[in-house]
């Protein structure tokens, strides 16, 4: 069974979906919508995301249940290492993964990240410092980065 909860945020309605094992989706454009039935994972995600948007949470501690290739999962795991209020590049990610020529593949895996904000793909920018694509739209990415900069601990 897939559990779903939607929540209003400063950047729009966020859909949270989970299995009984963990979150399966957090984002703005779900492929499938389900009846609003919560479980512990959706409730926990809603609470932690609420704290994030209030500026009081910088890290998430939620079980995930995501499907992807080994490469995609390595990219998504690396995204969690980019700290709150920081940015890095697709090139950095490719180099870190030992695949310096895989910049486009890293970008593709980033674009398929099913857990927005919690797996912080919004913190990855172009090599020239530009805000490149974001599943929720570049304006949401800009808002998230500005939000984190304003609430970053010194």
For 91-127, b/e burial (b = at least 16 CB within 10 A) is bbbbeebeeeebbebbbebbeebbbbbbbbbbbbbee
pLDDT-derived band at 153 (thresholds 50, 70, 90) equals low
CB of 145 closer than 8 Å to CB of 134: no
Report which of 99, 39, 1, 132 is spatially closest to residue 16, judged by C-alpha positions: 39
Per-residue pLDDT tens over the stretch 78-111: 999 999 999 999 999 999 999 999 999 999 999 9
Domain annotation for the chain: domains and CATH numbers: 3-54 (3.30.160), 70-151 (1.10.10.10)
Q: How far apart are CA 31 and CA 51, in angstroms?
A: 26
What pTM was estimated for this model as a whole? 0.91
CB of 23 closer than 8 Å to CB of 62: yes
Could you tell me the two tokens for 103?
Answer: 């910049």
* pLDDT value of position 34: 86
Q: How far apart are CA 4 and CA 143, in angstroms?
A: 25
CB of 27 closer than 8 Å to CB of 119: no
Report which of 93, 151, 80 is spatially closest to residue 119, judged by C-alpha positions: 80
* pLDDT value of position 128: 84
Residues 6+ apart with CB under 8 A from 150: 55
Give the residue numbers annotated as catalytic, written as ranges.
121
């Amino acid at each position: 069974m897939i559990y779903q909860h939607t929540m209003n945020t400063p950047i729009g309605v966020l859909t949270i979906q989970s299995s009984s094992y963990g979150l399966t989706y957090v984002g703005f454009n779900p492929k499938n919508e389900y009846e609003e039935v919560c479980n512990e994972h959706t409730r926990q995600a809603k609470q932690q995301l609420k704290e994030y948007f209030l500026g009081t949470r910088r890290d998430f501690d939620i079980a995930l249940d995501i499907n992807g290739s080994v490469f995609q999962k390595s990219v998504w795991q690396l995204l969690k290492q980019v700290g709150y209020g920081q940015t890095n590049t697709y090139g950095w990610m490719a180099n870190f993964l030992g695949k310096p020529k895989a910049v486009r593949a890293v970008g593709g895996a980033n674009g398929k990240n099913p857990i927005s904000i919690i797996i912080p793909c919004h913190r990855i920018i172009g090599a020239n410092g530009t805000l490149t694509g974001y599943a929720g739209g570049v304006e949401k990415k800009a808002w998230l980065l500005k939000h984190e900069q304003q609430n970053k601990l010194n």
